[in-house]
Structures are given as C-alpha cells and as structure tokens.
Amino acid sequence: MHITLEADYAVRIVVYLADAKQRADANTISEATGVSLRFALKILRNLVSSGIVKSFKGTQGGYELNQDPKQITLKSVLEAVEGEYRFSRCLNPESPCTRPKEYDCKVQKVFCKITSEVQKMLDEVTIDSLC
C-alpha cells in the first residue's frame, strides 16, 4: 500500500515552492521536481483550488505558496489531490459499507482507528519540516 504518484508529486511541488521562497513558472517547477509539465499543471490546479498555492498570470506569472510552509501540513497537501484520507473505502460516506446496519463490524472499528491515527500523524508534519 502506498500513496498515489499524484500525491507524491504534489508533495514534491509544494516542498520545491517552499524551498524556492519565490515565484516559479510551471516549466521550472516541472524540471526541478521531475514531474511532467502536463501532470504538474494538473496538480498545481488542485493546489491552487485548495488554497495552498497561489497562481499569477502574465509575464511575471507563475506559482508560489499561498501560506507559510509552517502552516501547510502534509495532510492538507495530500488531501488537495486525493480527497480526505480513509484507510478503507468502507469508511467513505459516498460508498459506505454494504453490511447490514445492525451488523457490528469490528474490522470497520479498527479501520476507523487507523484512519484517525494516520490523519493525526499527517496533520503533525508541516512542509517546513520537509525542507
């Protein structure tokens, strides 16, 4: 089990922007992080939508962090591209467990606990600590 390539690349991009401490265009970000330009643009759109990254148009355009790296958590970056972390799809409200409601699922309880612990750990790691 591992995070998706998109999530891994999102972390790379945010860490790069935090290290750069200045605006960078998509081509520079792509080259510096080893992420294809097309994929970097897709990820950057998600990061902009989530408020982690700010975009600028024009000749002086590009991307920069919209928040202090000390305030950006690993959880927020991962969730910007993947949505809320859940250890199992049975915890997803859009596709809930198909077992009968009266069934007391001990496995789901464990999965809930694992989800909570992982979310807590991801929330404790800031981008600043990864630079």
pLDDT confidence of 31, banded at 50, 70, 90? very high
- Measured distance CA(122)–CA(103) in Å, rounded: 31
Report whether pLDDT(112) > 80: yes
Task: Reply yes or no on whether the pLDDT at 18 is more than 90.
Answer: yes
| Chain-centre distance for alpha carbon 82 | 6
Average pLDDT over residues 103-131: 89
Beta-carbon count within 10 A of 104 CB: 7
Q: Are 7 and 46 in contact (CB under 8 A)?
A: no
Residue 102 has a pLDDT of 60
pLDDT for 15 beyond 90: yes
> Which pLDDT does position 16 carry in this prediction?
98
Structurally, at CATH architecture level, domain 5-130 sits in: Orthogonal Bundle (1.10)
Q: Residue 96: which pLDDT band, with cuts at 50, 70 and 90?
A: low
At residue 43, the pLDDT reads 98
Share of the chain above pLDDT 70, in %: 92
